[in-house]
Structure 1
């Protein structure tokens, strides 16, 4: 059982509370952004539903492919009941869920720009749950290293009292900064979908780098499973960014940088 808060006779799962709050915050930001852009309608609400359903499925079922050897992976029932709660799995599932939902209703409009700031702020809130309940990161001698309770699951450093990287704090800071930058960019990057592409690219690079401070198991060439997933993702997103640059989608931003320099 994970870390819980005792409220009366109820045991409230800490991680689940903050994941729920993150989803709520993201939903509110999405609605506000959709209203600001005049895109709040049946189609955008269907897209949100697809994201929520797909994200939940992705987080639960990502454990099915945790190991290269299929014999080491859980069954479908086990993955659903005790899924790895992978953020990357949830994001991928949400993306697929939006595509499926839009295909079902025949909607071809771009909704990614509505999701980008919502996801960033929602992730910042959700990661507080990870900070309070999971192994912080790898041991470090840096002055801002933190200590976690010895009862923290899968955390050898917690048992020995080692200072560890506050990897989830790094991500919370990144997501809050990304939220602010996305709000600044939304009037400058006007081609539909490009704000979302920029966010995904930035998060992929950040998450690949921050994995070096995380407590995740390395599987090959001293890289973790998320890093191998992110390497493939960064190649795909890199091609997408190059295409956007060639088509002039970021020209206004590039021109501003030239003037500023």
Structure 2
């Protein structure tokens, strides 16, 4: 199999990226529906649709804004600006969706929503979507710089590059396995799973950005890296509160009563 992978069905070319995105949404949604049966932290009442629309709006704006900022053009070139705004960034989508949900939750005064139930379906969806990015090669901006690293691959342009999408697939697989095995314990602390996911994923993306051929830097960092820093700073208080709750629920070991040592003179026959 060569990359980019371009299959045909009845002599009709298929877009692997579109197929993977559709599959990611459908599989992630079905996983969410199944998971909801075993979790009680989801939102109730008539606000579910409103909150979903807040997530959709935040995702749309976040993906477009960050997609533009990854490789911005001069604002005097209107046509190129419009083309660049068609670019999408999953980092902006995640952060935008979170802000959209939190804003709507405050407006409707619905404080029972926890993001934790969405995390495992979200990781699975991102994983499936990244498979499409990997198979698309250099058609998407998910490839790395040239390297002689042993995992370097020809992604379609004749150069051996870091397979960024493949690195992310490995990371997402390990993150999913670890969270799935400990999901019941993580669900005991509201939004702990969500906080761990956001900080770990954004931390990973901060590091992996150094392997991408970014063309726009501010003080030596890309726009995505600045978003990662802002996200981690934003979640530090939540992580601190969650860890305090975790340690408060850990029972302390009972101390043994002190042993009194008697000397020979105090022992009477």
Indicate whether the TM-score tops 0.5. yes
| CA distance, structure 1, for counterparts of residue 227 and residue 217 of structure 2 | 12
Q: Deviations over 1:106-156 (max 9, x none)?
A: 432132101111111111111112112243211221211111112xxxxxx
Q: What displacement does 1:244 show? A: 2.7
| CA distance, structure 1, for counterparts of residue 78 and residue 137 of structure 2 | 21
**Could you list the runs of 5+ residues in structure 1 that have no partner in the other structure?**
151-160, 256-261
Q: Does 1:238 align with 2:236?
A: yes
Q: 1:145 aligns with which of 152, 161, 168?
A: 152
- The number of aligned residues is 242
SS in 2 for 1:223: coil
**Could you list the runs of 5+ residues in structure 2 that have no partner in the other structure?**
252-269
Contact conserved, 1:59 with 1:83, CA < 8 A, in 2?
no
Shift in alpha-carbon separation, 1:253–1:83, aligned structure 2, 3 A: farther
Shift in alpha-carbon separation, 1:16–1:101, aligned structure 2, 3 A: farther
Q: What is the TM-score of this pair, normalised by structure 2? A: 0.74
Q: Deviations over 1:87-122 (max 9, x none)?
A: 111112222333355456543213210111111111
Q: What displacement does 1:60 show? A: 3.4
Q: 2:118 aligns with which of 115, 135, 141?
A: 115
Moved more, 34-43 or 168-177: 34-43
Contact conserved, 2:69 with 2:223, CA < 8 A, in 1?
no
Pairing of 1:23-38 with structure 2 (within 5 A): 23-38=25-40
CA RMSD of aligned residues (A): 3.3
Higher helix share: 1
Q: What is the TM-score of this pair, normalised by structure 1? A: 0.76
Contact conserved, 1:59 with 1:89, CA < 8 A, in 2?
yes
SS in 1 for 2:28: helix
Q: What displacement does 1:59 show? A: 2.1
| CA distance, structure 2, for counterparts of residue 8 and residue 55 of structure 1 | 35
